[in-house]
Structures are given as structure tokens and as C-alpha cells.
Amino acid sequence: MSETIETNCESPLPLTEKGLKTRQKLLATAEQIFGTKGYFNASVVDITQQANVAQGTFYNYFSSKQMIFEELVRQLSSDFRNEIRVEVAKATSAKEAQMIGFRTFFRWVKNHRHLYSIVQQAVLVDENLYRWYYERLAIGYVKGLQEAMDREEFERLDPETVAYCLMGISQFVGMRWVYWENQDVPECVLETMARFMFEGLEKKEKPECGREE
């Protein structure tokens, strides 16, 4: 079965299996090019030469450099959200789901380190795309948090605010260890994240000797 995509032509171009592979090859190459050279320093020629694809073939799938960049951001977003969704479905509690989500994201981004620079470039290429990236990510967070609050597993707080707080944690912890250091997030860091999220910063008073609270 063939699929179609919208192009700069008047009618959509039918995509055979070979066409889908070529299109995906161009996207994978664009991920490397944009991640290393940057959007503004990269060109369609850079992408086609590294992908070993004719420049004319490129325009069968994408009308411009900006179009392939936008499609790349959307695909990266979709890919890691889908992977997180599959893994989180295995969780038996809301707390476990949060930690599985973090671990899955860190593992995924280790193999796609250019995600960080590509997303940050989006704010200059297309601010609406940049906003879409985070808003789309927040939707999944909000849904899961709302469900956990309804089950009384989490305190009832504004789920959107909590979602953006959790997104900030994953963004910067991943940047610190995965992007900057190119390593797995250490277990002690994951344990600190869990204690921070589920216990908070407030110092707990220890019970007096021989007494339990």
C-alpha cells in the first residue's frame, strides 16, 4: 500500500516503499546536518550529498530546507513520545510511570543527541513550531497527571503547571548528563529526582527516639 504526502506540487506524490525509505533517509541525514552545522549554515545540497540522493529527488518530498526541518522536529517529537507511551503502559503506579517516562526519554535522547540543538534552533526558524513542540509534549503529561490525581495517587494540583515543571526537570537533567557528557543519567541522579518530585524540598523532622509519627 502506498502513502501520500503533500508537496509543493498541485497533487500529492504517491509514496512507494522505496519512496518512504528515501524520505526517511533524507530526514535522518537532516537530523545529523542540522545538529552539527546548524539550520542557517546548512543547505539542501549538504543534505542530499550526505544522503547520496539527487537534489531533484529531494524536492519530490520536501519543498524547501525549512519544510524538512519542520517535518524533522515533528517526527522526533512523535518518535520519542510514542516510545515513552509504550513503556509507561507497563507501569503499575503513577510514580512508577513518571520514572519510566524519564528513563525512556534519557535513553532515547542518548541515541538522538541532536534533538537538543535542533529544538533550540526552532525558536529562530519558526517560533510557532517551537511552541508546538512543548505544547504537544505537555498534552501527554497533563493527561497522565490528571488521571493520577483522579485516582488520588497524586495531590490535586494544577496539572498543566506540574507538567511544565516535570518537563523542565527532564529537559535540563538530560542536557546535563546525556547531551553535555554523553553518558547515561546516573542512578543517584534519578533517585534524587524521585525524592524531589515525590517528597519535595521541605526538610522532614525526624521523630524523637522511641517515637514514631
pLDDT at 79 over 80: yes
Closest CA to 81 of 114, 115, 54: 115
Q: Do 159 and 120 reside in the same domain of the chain?
A: yes
Q: Which residues span the domain enclosing 154?
A: 66-202
The Cα–Cα gap between 88 and 104 comes to: 9
CATH of the domain at 145: 1.10.357.10
- Under the banding of pLDDT at 50, 70 and 90, the label for residue 1 is very low
Among residues 13, 33, 63, the one where a domain terminates is 63
pLDDT in tens, 28-43: 999 999 999 999 999 9
What is the per-residue pLDDT across 155-212, written as a single tens digit (0 to 9) for each?
999 999 999 999 999 999 999 999 999 999 999 999 999 999 999 998 877 666 655 5
Same domain, 110 and 46: no
Domain for residue 12, yes or no? yes
The model carries a pTM of 0.87
Residues 38 and 83 in one domain: no
> Which residue, 10, 44, 63, sits at the end of a domain?
63
Number of domains forming the structure of the chain: 2
Q: Are residues 186 and 84 in the same domain?
A: yes
Residues in the chain: 213
